[in-house]
Amino acid sequence: MRLCALISALNSISSIMAFAFTFTFTFAFAFAFAFAFAFSNNPTIPSPRSNSYLYFTFFLFYILSPFAFLLQFTYSIISHLTFLHSPSFLSLFASLNPNWIVVWIRILSPLRSALLCPFHQSRFPSFPLSPTMAKDRERRMYVGVIFNYAAELKLFLSALLLLCALATILQFLPSRFTLSISDLRSCSTTQDSPSSSSSSSLSATLHSSIPLPSPHPSTSLPTDQLLPNGILRRVFRPYGAAAYNFITMGAYRGGVDNFAVVGLASKPLHVFGHPTYQCQWIPLLHPSNPINASAFKILPDWGYGRVYTVVVVNCTFSHPVNADNQGGKLLLYASTSGGGDRNFNLTDTIEVLTESPGGMNASLFTSSPKYDYLYCGSSLYGNLSPQRVREWLAYHIRLFGIRSHFVIHDAGGVHEEVLQVLKPWMELGYVTLQDIREEERFDGYYHNQFMVVNDCLHRYKFMAKWMFFFDIDEFIYVPPKSTIKSVLDSLSDYAQFTIEQMPMNSKTCLTEDAGRTYRKWGFEKLVYKDVKRGIRRDRKYAVQPRRVFATGVHMSENVAGKTTHKTEGKIKYFHYHGTIAHRREPCRSLSNLTQLTLDDTPFLLDTTMRLVAPAVKRFELKMIGSRLQATRQ
């Protein structure tokens, strides 16, 4: 009787609960779990695993229950809880096994019995029933409940269908469809005062992922004026910036009193303006006593820059800095000096280098270098051939020997197959790979290769005796009776020497290789040399890096010492132009002639590199085994 009284009390206050919107979550939650509990013992209901969509339905209903059009339906269910007759749905929720569900089961179990007492008392007598009769009565009562609440079920399912449709549509709304405080403010005609700082902060947060349009000219700026003499004086309002003042790639010591800063700067600013640079050393222990130095800029890209040009800033102090090795930092002051806008001299302060206490090794500048020969590669890009890279590395590591090192710069060309070719040599310490793909953000000449080689020059300046600059489709060659050491020893009086080019045909192979060209390496089967006369050939070069201030792609114009171009007969390079960028068999035609002409260009048979190939293959097998035998074109 107490439980029945409880039911009467609940029914009497249902109208009050309808106005208590803050309790909607609680009732919806209780309804969902009680409804599930009511069907958990009905054998006609499928297992929870096969009806996981029911859990999703009730979960959706619980989340979206605060909506007004579901409120009345929720209270209708609470006030007619004969719908909670079978407890299988609560078992479905309980199968998720969170501990707090047990609490709800214990609360709802007596509530269910209380709420069902009017139903049992009015429709079923209190005499004992056999198990068969009880099951039959339970089944008929379940069917009756479904029919009695068909309208509520229809409303419930219709509401869920509408909500699911809305949820689906919302996913396709554009990301720029937002509502911010500023939007609401603009719609209000009664808001005249400026927004508060907190509102502005909230609006900025809401729009942080959206590119903001250029601001409208402020009313505080000067406007066009009509002068007394009838002349209209126009006003120009600048916005934004077209290019960065300076972009650093690296800053390195050139000695105890010297530094080099390598980066990019606005080309129009340097071509048409007069930007200046100043350097300053801030000691870590005495930051109030900075040391200033003049700076000298070098533009090493020969005018090839685009939006950006390469700048090497040389900072030379009057005496050694950080001589006590207590640490400090180098600042670069980059000033436009009126370039771009004559009314302003904009100066950016850039912290380009930091030395921790004990971090400077002064002996590095006077000791013997770690390597005899170091290769500084240009930016690698495109879909490179792993097989051509494999051949190039094996050939040159054999040529330069154990005291050599190769710095590879990946601007997007080192894909996974190329990386697999590099890894064995990286593990042996012959190759360093640098990921420089971010440089593609800045529009410089040819993947910013001038900046890349200058960074390599100054980064490894004191680690190599000779530094080489050429491409990975070019093969350095010295005559059989010479070695790379003997050749460079004969050129030691020069700070720089250039290397003659031997251009090779990249499509024609020997007829005797027919049917087995795929077994031969590229420089082994491409044997026709371009012998056209009277044209200028590009040259590559090598330098003694400690005597160079900045460098280029084909030679340096900033060396302290002599340069020679008379290296014919001593050293040259074979150039297989374009072969590195094509992932296919290079042999497109075959010939057994010693001389031929293709596209008005004469070619002569030259088997110099063909004869070297077997020794290079044996060297690779000895050094790294058969790891790269299955490398593809």
pLDDT by residue (tens digit) across 444-495?
Answer: 888 999 999 999 999 999 999 999 999 999 999 999 989 999 999 999 999 9
Encode pLDDT of 186-196 as tens digits.
444 444 444 33
Residue with tokens 């497109």: 588
Residue with tokens 């429709």: 123
The pLDDT value recorded for residue 516 is 84
The residue count of the chain comes to 633
Beta-carbon contacts of 245 under 8 Å, excluding residues fewer than 6 positions away, are 265, 266, 269, 275, 334, 336, 346, 348
Lowest mean per-residue pLDDT among 123-132, 220-229, 269-278: 123-132
What distance in Å separates the CA atoms of residue 345 and residue 335, rounded to the nearest whole number? 6
CA–centroid distance for 298 within its chain = 31
Angstrom distances, CA of residue 151 to CA of 31, 114, 504: 17, 24, 86
Band of pLDDT at residue 397, cut at 50, 70 and 90: very high
Encode pLDDT of 65-121 as tens digits.
444 445 444 444 444 444 444 444 444 334 444 444 444 444 444 444 444 444 444
Q: Averaged over 265-283, what is the pLDDT?
A: 94
What does the radius of gyration of the chain's CA atoms come to, in whole angstroms? 40
The pLDDT value recorded for residue 153 is 61
The pLDDT value recorded for residue 78 is 46
Amino acid occupying residue 525: K
The pLDDT value recorded for residue 172 is 53
DSSP 493-532: T-SEEEEEEEEB-SSEEEGGGTT-GGGS-HHHH--EEE--
Average pLDDT, rounded, for the chain: 77
Q: Averaged over 205-229, what is the pLDDT?
A: 59
The pLDDT value recorded for residue 210 is 37
Residue 304 has pLDDT above 90, yes or no: no
Residue 321 has pLDDT above 60, yes or no: yes
The full 3-state SS of 258-308, as one line of letters, equals EEEEEEEEEHHHHHHCCCEEEEEEEECCCCCCCEEEEEEEECCCCCCCCCE
Containing 407, the helix (H) or strand (E) segment is strand 404-410
Q: Averaged over 495-501, what is the pLDDT?
A: 96
Lowest mean per-residue pLDDT among 130-144, 208-222, 232-246, 414-428: 208-222
What distance in Å separates the CA atoms of residue 435 and residue 414, rounded to the nearest whole number? 9
Q: Which of 420, 392, 387, 378 is nearest to 586 (CA)?
A: 387
Encode pLDDT of 135-152 as tens digits.
565 555 554 544 455 566
3-state SS assignment for residue 253: strand
3-state SS assignment for residue 232: strand
The pLDDT value recorded for residue 139 is 58
The pLDDT value recorded for residue 180 is 41
What distance in Å separates the CA atoms of residue 186 and residue 267, rounded to the nearest whole number? 43
Q: Considering only residues 125 and 589, tell me which one the structure prediction assigns the higher pLDDT.
A: 589
Q: Averaged over 244-250, what is the pLDDT?
A: 94
Residue 236 has pLDDT above 90, yes or no: no
Band of pLDDT at residue 343, cut at 50, 70 and 90: confident
List the domains of the chain with CATH numbers: 225-357 (2.60.40), 371-624 (3.90.550)
Angstrom distances, CA of residue 631 to CA of 13, 142, 418, 431, 602: 81, 71, 9, 18, 33
Q: Which of 527, 322, 553, 353 is nearest to 447 (CA)?
A: 553
Main-chain phi, psi angles of 119, to 5 degrees:
-65, -45
Q: Averaged over 424-429, what is the pLDDT?
A: 97
The pLDDT value recorded for residue 132 is 61
Beta-carbon contacts of 503 under 8 Å, excluding residues fewer than 6 positions away, are 529, 530, 537, 575, 577
- The answer to whether 141 touches 85, Cβ cutoff 8 Å, is yes
DSSP 204-224: HHHTTTSPPPPPPPPTTS---
Residue 158 has pLDDT above 80, yes or no: no
Q: Averaged over 331-347, what is the pLDDT?
A: 89
Q: Which of 509, 512, 503 is nearest to 526 (CA)?
A: 509
Band of pLDDT at residue 527, cut at 50, 70 and 90: very high
What CA dihedral angle connects 379, 384, 386 and 388, to 10 degrees?
A: -80
The pLDDT value recorded for residue 130 is 57
- The answer to whether 378 touches 456, Cβ cutoff 8 Å, is no
Lowest mean per-residue pLDDT among 35-39, 298-302, 330-334: 35-39
